[in-house]
Amino acid sequence: MQKAWLYEEYGPKDVLKLGDFTIPSPKHGELIVHVRAASLNPIDFKRRQRPIFPSDFPVVPGCDMAGVVVDKDCHVTKFEIGDHVYGNIQDFNRPGKLKQLGTLAEYICVEESLIARIPEKLSFEDAASLPLALQTAAEGFVTGSFKPGQSIFIVGGAGGVGSLVVQLAKHLYGASRVVATCSTPKVDFVKELGADEVIDYTKIKYEDLDEKFDFLYDTIGDCKNSYLVAKECAPIIDITWPPSHPRAIYSSLSTSGELLEKLGPLIEEGKLKPVIDPTGPYPFGKVMEAFSYLETGRARGKVVVSQFPEPSALS
């Protein structure tokens, strides 16, 4: 058995508890990873609050992780025991139930296709902050058929996904102009990410903006208002469900380690930087506090959990 954060009924964060969960054995094409860091996503607490994705109890929350391979199926060819890997272990596009065993545990089981080697410059904490948010951020550009040279307006430029959308627009997808929104304390931070202009939404409303954009990327589900800054035929991407405006296109994510491998050089060059909320990383024993903070909606970048128990159960 191993220690893991889990819940056995839907509800608020109080249903979470630190308990025992069986250590899995790898099946065909799978690896066992000792988790060294994980990050939290809104889907983790939304899934806990109500049955939006079917799963059997008990559920260990968590999608993102970074850690060390400690065991593998004989058919795994890309990775060896001892490799440092990261990824989003939950494939939301696969039919059927999500994994019971998420990443807030000492050991997780994951398919070879869902992970990648950690770029050398990244710590476990930095790596754990990236997978789901990066996959979501990149998918929006594909969904909306973004073209180099287009201008982009990003709603929520300081969040876990938004902070990566800003960087991808600037350094990968060739946006001609990048404008993003955030609150007053985060304006300088979003500028440092690469935004050409930052709109403080506490002071300026959408209807006050004269400029119209070729592409609108809304990371917080405010399209019913933010659509005002989009040109008449501009794609409007909404990563929340259901989309908040009739013109909005819902964009989810493609869960794959391939994207992480593709963007590795950009990470190594320092053009794509992980963003960890300065309140963390939270120790493994303070997952409740980490969720409390995430659920306020005030996080800057990703809420990360580290200081996982040292490997012992498989030694």
Predicted model pTM? 0.94
Q: Tens digits of per-residue pLDDT, 71-100?
A: 999 999 999 999 999 999 998 877 778 999
Any idea which fold 133-250 has? Rossmann fold (3.40.50)
Q: Does domain 2-130+274-306 correspond to CATH entry 3.90.180.10?
A: yes
DSSP 3-state of 314: coil
Which residue reads 């659920």 in tokens?
A: 295
Q: Tens digits of per-residue pLDDT, 167-187?
A: 999 999 999 999 999 999 999
- Tabulate helix, strand, coil % of the chain (nearest 5): 25, 25, 45
For residues 237 and 226, is the Cβ–Cβ distance under 8 A?
Answer: no
Burial class, 66, CB count within 10 angstroms (exposed 0-12 / middle 13-18 / buried 19+): buried
Which residue reads 């200081």 in tokens?
A: 307
How far, in Å, CA of 54 to CA of 295, rounded? 22
Q: Do domains 2-130+274-306 and 133-250 have the same CATH topology?
A: no
Residue 250 structure tokens: 């819902």
Domain boundaries in the chain?
A: 2-130+274-306, 133-250
Q: Tens digits of per-residue pLDDT, 244-277?
A: 899 999 998 888 899 999 999 999 999 999 999 9
Peptide bond into 242 cis (omega under 30): yes
